[in-house]
Structure 1
Amino acid sequence: MKLLLLAGTGEARRIAEALPAIAGVEAVASLAGGTRVPATLGVPVRSGGFGGRQAFADYLGAEGIGAVLDATHPFAIDITRRTAEVCADLGLPYAQVLRRGWTPGPGDRWTFVDREEQVADLVPDGSTVFLGTGTKGLERFANLTGREVICRRIETPDAPFPFPGGRFLQGRPPFSVAEEVALFTKLGVDWLVVKNSGGAASRSKLDAARDLGLPVALLNRPAQPAATRFETEAEALEWVRRLAA
């Protein structure tokens, strides 16, 4: 069986490293190209988009893909919805790896919002806002006028900030809690904005906000398509084993 792994997360990397040990499985990983130097995976990798819905369906057929495992980011909803729909149309087995979202604990000052534009209703004028959301959808924070907006990104910016009052800060994860505390203190951050991505790898910024008593605006995840879904890598790998048996 030839498996297409939609990658780009830590879960996907660990799954890719385990796939060669599963008998009867030939795997290829796909990276959307969000970073210029993707991490090395344990299986062949293709990089870049598929060119739309029909082009993706054509690729699945031409490559003889027998199943698709979607381990993309919880907010990569366009990719997830399209993949689930195309696989359903073609009758291909499809499953999603979706890590559990974060929930607040003692000392956390979180407010959940559905849309980026709602953050402006929470943050007072004159505040310094740290966006730990990445650059996708950054323009939807343009109504944060009167605040200093700092957006951290992995790669060197190749275009100016999309609206006045904002700037990029380059940094490559992982970041420790101590590093985040030091950074937020240095920048004078008043509010942190984060997508509810879940997982341990990027939790440190939330822990730092709790230590500093900072309020956090947490973006809710988009609605996911109806599909077979796993929270853990082990469950996803067992699904692959069953298909290959």
Structure 2
Amino acid sequence: MRSFVFAALLLSLPAAAEYAAADLTNGGTIKGKITYNGKPPPPKKIMITKDPKICGTSRDDDTFEIAPDGGVRNVVVYLADIKSGKKFEGEMKPELDQKGCHYQPHVQVVALHSTLQVKSSDPILHNVHSYLNGSTVINFAVPPQPGLVLPKKLDKPGGQQLKCDVHNFMTGGFFVAENPYYGLTGEDGTYEIKDVPAGNYTIATWHQAAGPLSEPIAVAAGGTATFNGKVK
């Protein structure tokens, strides 16, 4: 009886509120740089035997793209707990292409509840397989059919690793964002998040292979806060 009452109480609780756009004035900025923690690993060459006419015979492993000074590319830096602020301007039909046996873009940030448009520019069979915390979210074959677009609604927030089960050297990822307060690091590892309402937040990171970071950050009205992190 007690467990039944507890379950009923859980069902009666309101769902967590999703992010809401609100008027914003005098927002602040968060900026910084993400670097590799320790000595960067030497570049790794991948030899290719599957579909070499399309995929090539070798390529550099692009799981980690690290600048000479240690800056790490394609790290998503985001506010994990902000509930309102600027309008989400993200594309609601983002595209994921497969070209030359590469996911394009290699990493991207997309809006929660957007519909990913999966396609392939290659004249060979591919497979799109994504994982969220180790569990499969997307897993379907993409045949070499010109004009074919396979839609997938993205209703689970967080970062998803990508792989192709046909070509195991193809990797990438995308981050499903619950709010527009994120940055994607460039070639030098830097990022910037603008128009942040004054307040205290949790800033976090996601990378397709590195462990996540998370720590509190305070943003003043019209001010600039800094978050630098090291990933591995």
TM-score (norm 2): 0.25
Q: 1 or 2, which has the higher helix percentage?
A: 1
